[in-house]
Structure 1
Amino acid sequence: MERDRTTEAEQTLAQLDRLRDRSARRARGGAWLPAAGIALLLLASSALYRSPFSQLSAIEGEHPYWAGLPDQQRSPVASYLFWFLGVPVLLAGTAWWYRQRARRLGVRVPWPAFAGTGLGVLVLLAVIAAVPTSPPPDTLVLLSGPFWPGLLTPLLAPAAMAVALGWVERSWGLVIAGAWIVALAAWLCTTFPLGTVPGWMIGGSGGGGQLAWRPGHYLVLMALPLLAVATVRLVSARRSGA
């Protein structure tokens, strides 16, 4: 009899653990959509460049880099509007998504922190960009300094949004994806021409080299971790019925 009670208690605890895990997966099962939205925003921004995937004979990197990366953009105004309208639209869609999930599943996620982070970065960029600064030189900004004007890129907005979403959804994968975007943007936006690799980065003392990639390739590279996390979260959400 005592053994039966012990077995029954163990089964009850195991069932409670399964229910707890399922509830956690359901609560965090909505992260795939905003993560995919950030990735799609990055990929869509490739259309802002005059030649996102093919080489140009001459490149003029207009500063600030409102397209995101220091390369020939189609129109600075179009680039500016893309980010300062696209990010709020993405945040509005995310807010709608989480509200619908809260009504349907009864789970709530502190998404306003995610939304506030994205809008806050855009406002900060707009304020800083309004301060008169001299354009960066044509040589490596990392070597000729100061390099901070090169960091005035709208790519910081999706990066910050990914990190904030990772905090909200308790996902280290999203936090790492945001840090990955920051690392790539810091390198690409503080060197010119695009993809320049200083000698010290490759362990040499010479002039370094340059990758033959174009803006579209780097944007795909930035979006890949987000798409991977979105795929994993979507599969998990399907399995848990969220």
Structure 2
Amino acid sequence: MDQASQGQATQTLAELERLRRRTRTRAHGGAWLPALGITALLLASSALYHHPFASTYSISVDSPYWAGLPDEQRDPLASYLFWFLGTPLLFAAVGAWYRWRSRSLGLRVAWPLFVGAGLGVLLLLAVLAAVPTQEHQQPDSLSSSPGHFWLSGLLTPLLPIAAAVVALAWAERSRGLTVAGGWITVLTVWLCGWFPMGYLPGWATDILGGDLTGPLDGSPNSLGGQVDWRPGIWLTLMALPLVTFAAIRGVQSWRAANGG
């Protein structure tokens, strides 16, 4: 093969690779909308709390945490309806979005997995909440019992959102969404699993303070502490990776649509 033919072959391969990347970008370019929708749902849930951002000296916490986080909610019924109506409505809007994109671009994404995962965990939450259990009282100490940990950690409508984000990450082949879903899961289990919200065990405060002797020998030197932030701040932190992802993916989608 002469030099001219080799150059043409290289140019052809480069063009094919460019088209492949552009097609992939267009196929997965619509993920910014569900990410933005979930962000809006998370931030809007701040209104379910009596004091979403302002400090308060005392709170009354009911379990299950229908508002999402273990803090004083305005009305448990309003919280329940917000998540059990708002989440399916969001999924319906996302499904309509993906169907429209499929008809317009001829490219499909496995979005039903996103909807199925979210609704499945939401249904599981409703079933678990309906199962009769012994009444759990708030513990006197800062850390709760293992039974209270698992009950509180599971009975929150934030976990269906986290499951949906992880499923969307798989459908969209997105590491950013995987990180966002994992971040929401970790924060939710931590904040809902111990009381008060934001509790730090002794070994964690030792590590944050630079003292590794206690955690290494299994006897923490600290009694523990608390990150005393309000629900609105935690929900904003949960949404930050989604906002970042939506902004980046939205710009990429716009560039791909305009030949960039």
Whether TM-score is above 0.5 comes out as: yes
Please state how far the C-alpha of 1:141 moved relative to its aligned partner. Answer: 7.3
Which residue is equivalent to 1:166? 169
Q: Following superposition of structure 1 onto structure 2, how do residues 226-241 of structure 1 map, counting pairs within 5 Å?
A: 226-241=242-257
In structure 2, distance between residues paired with 1:170 and 1:118: 18
In structure 1, distance between residues paired with 2:178 and 2:48: 26
Which residue is equivalent to 1:181? 184
**Cα distance change, pair 141–129 in 1 and its aligned pair in 2 (3 A):** farther
Please state how far the C-alpha of 1:180 moved relative to its aligned partner. Answer: 0.7
C-alpha contact (below 8 Å) 2:205/2:222 kept by paired residues: no
In structure 1, distance between residues paired with 2:142 and 2:171: 35
Which residue is equivalent to 1:194? 197
Q: Cα deviation per residue 1:81-140 (whole Å; 9 max; x = unaligned)?
A: 000001101100001100111111111111111111110011000000011222243345
Task: Give structure 1 regions of 4+ aligned residues with deviation exceeding 4 angstroms.
Answer: 140-143
Which residue is equivalent to 1:93? 93
Amino acid at match of 1:66: W
Q: TM-score by structure 2 length?
A: 0.89
User: Aligned pair count?
Assistant: 242
In structure 1, distance between residues paired with 2:56 and 2:138: 20
Which residue is equivalent to 1:72? 72
Residue 5 of structure 2 corresponds to residue 9 of structure 1: no
In structure 2, distance between residues paired with 1:215 and 1:107: 39
Q: Following superposition of structure 1 onto structure 2, how do residues 78-157 of structure 1 map, counting pairs within 5 Å?
A: 78-133=78-133, 134-139=135-140, 142-146=143-147, 147-151=149-153, 152-157=155-160
Runs of 5+ unmatched residues, structure 1 = none
In structure 1, distance between residues paired with 2:90 and 2:244: 19
| Identity score, percent | 56
In structure 2, distance between residues paired with 1:10 and 1:206: 63
RCO comparison, higher one (Cα < 8 Å, 6+): 1
Which residue is equivalent to 1:19? 19
In structure 2, distance between residues paired with 1:183 and 1:175: 12
Please state how far the C-alpha of 1:31 moved relative to its aligned partner. Answer: 0.4
Amino acid at match of 2:129: A
Deviates further, 195-204 or 114-123: 195-204
Please state how far the C-alpha of 1:142 moved relative to its aligned partner. Answer: 4.6
Amino acid at match of 2:150: W
Q: TM-score by structure 1 length?
A: 0.96
C-alpha contact (below 8 Å) 1:141/1:192 kept by paired residues: yes
Deviates further, 189-198 or 173-182: 189-198
C-alpha contact (below 8 Å) 1:140/1:191 kept by paired residues: no
C-alpha contact (below 8 Å) 1:159/1:182 kept by paired residues: yes
Runs of 5+ unmatched residues, structure 2 = 207-219
RMSD over aligned CA atoms reads: 1.5
